[in-house]
Chain A
Amino acid sequence: MSSHNNNSTSANDPRQPSAAKPFVAPMVSPQDLPVDYSGFIAVILGVAGVMFRYKLCSWLALIFCAQSLSNMRNMENDLKQISMASMFAIMGLVTNYLGPARPGSQS
C-alpha cells in the first residue's frame, strides 16, 4: 500500500512542515471523565466495614482502593476520594484488630 502511495505521489512529498501544528491537549472537563466506580465501591465497603465491624468489607475496600489508585488519571481530583476510602478501610481494619476484643471471643 505504501509503495502504491509513493508511486502515485512520488513527484511531490506529502509533508508540509509549514502546516505543522504542535499538539494541543484537548481540555477535558471533570464531568466527562469516566466515573470511578471502584473508588465509590471502596468508600461504601469501607464504611460498611467500620460500621458493622466486618473484616471482609474492610479488606475488600482496601483492594478496591488499590484498583482505584492504579486506574487514577488525574491526580488532584481522584486522590481525595481514594484517600477517604483508604482511610475508612484502614480505620475499619484497625478497629477490627486492635480495638477492644469482642465479648464473644474471650474464652
Chain B
Amino acid sequence: MTRPISLLYFLPLLLLLLLSLYYHVLADSHFEGFEAEEEDDVVEETIDPNAFKLPDLPLTLSESPPISTPTPDPKEPDPKPTKPSPPPSTTNFEFWDEDEFEGLPSHQPHIESVVITESATPDATVQTPDPKPTTVSKKKQSYLVEIVCVSFLIMFVINYFTGKRENENLALSWAAKFATKDSIFEKNFSLLGVGEGDDSPLLLKEGQNVFKFYASGRRYCQGLLATMELKSRHDLLSRIYNMVVPCKDEISIEVYMNDDAMDHVVFALARKKMAKAMQKELRDLQRFAGSVVQPPNGRKWVAEELAVVSESKEVAGDLISEAVLEQVFGEKSFEKYGKGFISMHVSDQLPGTQKKMLLFKFALPDANNMADMTRLVALVPYYIDLVGRYKLSSQARSKTEAARAKAAQEAYKELQGARQEALQKKKAERKKMLEEAEAKLSAEAIRKKEEKERARQMKKAMPKVKMTRGH
C-alpha cells in the first residue's frame, strides 16, 4: 500500500518541483529584467531632453551595462542622507554638485532629502538611523529560526537515546520481575521467550516503544502473548503532545485457550465507563452479553468502580470467585492493588481465527515499583485454570448453545449473502464487458460500412468526372 502511495506522491512531487524550479528561474529573470528596466528608465529620463535616440537604448540589454555606470549613483542618495546627517545641515546644500550627478533621476530623492533637511534636522536624524536597526533585527530573526530548529533537533536526538533507554529499562524490569527464574510465568509456562531454546531472548522489540513477551507450554492454553505498549518516550514531539493529552504505559496479555478447554463463556470486567464502551464496541459482547450485570444480593461483589458485562448471571457469579474478590477486585483490595487494572475480557466468540481467548489489560507502574502489579499478573494463570476447568450448568448451556447457533446461522447467512453479491457483481461485470465488446464491434462495423459507402461513392463519382473530361 505504501509503495504505490509513495510512487503516487513522487510523480506530482517531481512535477511540482520542476514547476517550482521553472518558476524560480522565471522569477529571477523577472527580477533581473526589472533592474534592467529601471536602469533603462533612468537612462530614458535623463536622455529624454537631449536626444531622440531613446528607443534604441532600452531595447538592447547588452548596451545597458556600459551606460549603467551611473547605476551606482542612484544608490548613493540612500547612503548619502545617512552620512550628512551628523554634520551640520549647511553642507547639505553644498554637496550636490549638479555637474557631478548629471545622469541622475534627480527628482525624488533629492527633493526628499532637501525637504527633510530644510524642514527639520531632527527629522532626518530620526529617519536615518532606522534602516540599520531593522536590518540588524532582520538578521537576528533569520537566525532565530535556525537556532530554535537546530537546538530542537539536537534535543530530539538526545531525547531519542534517553527515551529509548528509559523504555527498555521499563520493559526489562517487567521481564525481570515476572519472567525470570522462580517468577510467576516461569512457574506456569514451560517455554518463555520469543525464540527457541533455553536462552532465547525474553522480549521482542517492535519499534521503539512496543515490546512483546511470549510464553507457552501450559495446560488449557496454547500460549500467552504479552504486548507492552509504552509511551513514545523516544519521540520528543509525541512526548510534548502527551504533556497535553496524558497516556499510560499499557500491557495487554492475550491467552490463546485450547479449543476443548473453554466452555461458552462471554465475560468482561472493567471500570464502569470503560465497560459500557466495551459493551458497545466489541462485537461478541454486543451480541452475547446483554448488559451490565447487576450485583447480586447477599454476596460480596466487585468494587463500586467496576462493572461486569456477562452473558449470564451464572457465568459472572462463577468467574468472580471469593478468592479474586479477596485478592484484587474486592472493595478494599481494589483500592490497594487494582490501580493498574484497566480491563479483562474472556470470550469464546472473538472475531478472527483464534476465537477462545482471555484478554487482560493493565497499566504498567514505574520500573522501580514493578512489584505493585504482582497480583494483577497473578490473575492471568488463575483465570486460565478457572476458565479451563469451568463447565456451565446444563440449563445455562442450552441457552448459550441456542444463542451461538443463532449467531452461527446469521453469520452463515451473511456469508452467503456476501457470496451471492460477489457472484452478481461478477455477472454484471461480464455483461458489461460483453456489451462493451459488442458496442466496439458495432462501431467498427459502422465505420467499415461508411468507408465502403464512401469508396463506392468515390468510385461512382470518379468515372463520371473522367467521363466528363473525356468528352
Contact of A103 among B31, B135, B152 (CB under 8 A): B31
Docked-complex contact A59 and B382, CB < 8 angstroms: no
Docked-complex contact A70 and B235, CB < 8 angstroms: yes
The verdict on B465 contacting chain A, using a C-beta distance below 8 Å, is: no
Q: CB-CB < 8 A to A38: which residues of B?
A: 237
Considering only residues 109-143 of chain B, those with a C-beta below 8 Å from chain A are: 135, 142
> Are A63 and B152 also in contact (CB < 8 A) when A1-B323, A19-B222, A21-B223 are?
yes
Q: How distant is the Cα of A57 from the Cα of B10 in the complex, in angstroms?
A: 19
Q: How distant is the Cα of A31 from the Cα of B1 in the complex, in angstroms?
A: 6
Docked-complex contact A50 and B153, CB < 8 angstroms: no
Considering only residues 1-34 of chain A, those with a C-beta below 8 Å from chain B are: 1-2, 4-6, 8-9, 14-23, 25, 30-31, 33
Contact of A63 among B156, B191, B207 (CB under 8 A): B156
Q: CB-CB < 8 A to A9: which residues of B?
A: 385
Docked-complex contact A23 and B216, CB < 8 angstroms: yes
The closest CB in chain B to the CB of A103 belongs to B31
Q: CB-CB < 8 A to A90: which residues of B?
A: none
Q: CB-CB < 8 A to A21: which residues of B?
A: 191, 216-217, 222-223
Docked-complex contact B217 and A15, CB < 8 angstroms: yes
- Size bin of chain B's contact surface: 35 or more
The verdict on B189 contacting chain A, using a C-beta distance below 8 Å, is: yes
The closest CB in chain A to the CB of B191 belongs to A20
Cβ proximity bits A47-75 to B, threshold 8 Å, 1 near / 0 not: 10011010110011011101100111100
Docked-complex contact B216 and A22, CB < 8 angstroms: yes
The verdict on B301 contacting chain A, using a C-beta distance below 8 Å, is: no
Docked-complex contact B20 and A51, CB < 8 angstroms: yes
Docked-complex contact B145 and A17, CB < 8 angstroms: no
List the count of A-B residue pairs having beta carbons below 8 Å apart: 148
Q: How distant is the Cα of A55 from the Cα of B135 in the complex, in angstroms?
A: 18
Docked-complex contact A43 and B13, CB < 8 angstroms: yes
**Which one, B373-381, B399-407, B413-421, is touching chain A?**
B373-381
Docked-complex contact A100 and B28, CB < 8 angstroms: yes
Q: CB-CB < 8 A to A36: which residues of B?
A: 2
* Number of chain A residues close to chain B: CB under 8 A: 50
Q: How distant is the Cα of A59 from the Cα of B327 in the complex, in angstroms?
A: 54
The closest CB in chain A to the CB of B195 belongs to A23
Considering only residues 147-191 of chain B, those with a C-beta below 8 Å from chain A are: 149, 152-153, 156-157, 160, 184, 187-191
Q: How distant is the Cα of A63 from the Cα of B155 in the complex, in angstroms?
A: 11
Considering only residues 381-430 of chain B, those with a C-beta below 8 Å from chain A are: 381-382, 385
Contact of A77 among B2, B9, B153, B204 (CB under 8 A): B2
Docked-complex contact B378 and A1, CB < 8 angstroms: yes
Q: How distant is the Cα of A18 from the Cα of B218 in the complex, in angstroms?
A: 9
Q: Please indicate which of the listed interface residues A20, A38, A53, A73 has the most CB atoms of chain B within 10 Å of its own CB.
A: A20
Q: CB-CB < 8 A to A2: which residues of B?
A: 184, 187, 374, 378, 381
Considering only residues 2-43 of chain B, those with a C-beta below 8 Å from chain A are: 2-3, 6, 9-10, 13, 16-17, 20, 23-24, 28, 31, 35
Q: How distant is the Cα of A10 from the Cα of B30 in the complex, in angstroms?
A: 89
Shortest distance from the beta carbon of B161 to any chain A beta carbon, whole Å: 10
Shortest distance from the beta carbon of B72 to any chain A beta carbon, whole Å: 13
Q: Please indicate which of the listed interface residues A31, A81, A88 has the most CB atoms of chain B within 10 Å of its own CB.
A: A81
Q: How distant is the Cα of A75 from the Cα of B219 in the complex, in angstroms?
A: 38
The closest CB in chain A to the CB of B385 belongs to A9
Shortest distance from the beta carbon of B212 to any chain A beta carbon, whole Å: 8
Cβ proximity bits A76-107 to B, threshold 8 Å, 1 near / 0 not: 01101100100010000000000010010001
Q: Please indicate which of the listed interface residues A9, A20, A23 has the most CB atoms of chain B within 10 Å of its own CB.
A: A23
Docked-complex contact A14 and B235, CB < 8 angstroms: no
> Are A55 and B145 also in contact (CB < 8 A) when A22-B191, A43-B9, A81-B6 are?
yes
Q: How distant is the Cα of A10 from the Cα of B361 in the complex, in angstroms?
A: 27
The verdict on B328 contacting chain A, using a C-beta distance below 8 Å, is: yes
Q: CB-CB < 8 A to B375: which residues of A?
A: 1
Q: How distant is the Cα of A80 from the Cα of B3 in the complex, in angstroms?
A: 8
B contact residues vs A (CB 8 Å cutoff): 1-3, 6, 9-10, 13, 16-17, 20, 23-24, 28, 31, 35, 135, 142, 145-146, 149, 152-153, 156-157, 160, 184, 187-191, 193-196, 204, 206-208, 214, 216-219, 222-223, 225, 232, 234-238, 323, 327-328, 374-375, 378-379, 381-382, 385
- Contacts A51-B17, A62-B149 known; 15 new A-B pairs at CB < 8 A: A1-B323, A1-B327, A1-B374, A1-B375, A1-B382, A14-B187, A14-B385, A15-B217, A16-B217, A43-B13, A59-B145, A63-B149, A66-B156, A71-B235, A103-B31
A contact residues vs B (CB 8 Å cutoff): 1-2, 4-6, 8-9, 14-23, 25, 30-31, 33, 36, 38, 43, 47, 50-51, 53, 55-56, 59-60, 62-64, 66-67, 70-73, 77-78, 80-81, 84, 88, 100, 103, 107
Cross-chain pairs A/B with CB under 8 angstroms, 17 sampled: A2-B187, A4-B327, A5-B381, A5-B385, A14-B218, A30-B3, A38-B237, A43-B13, A47-B13, A50-B20, A51-B17, A56-B145, A63-B153, A66-B156, A70-B160, A70-B234, A77-B2
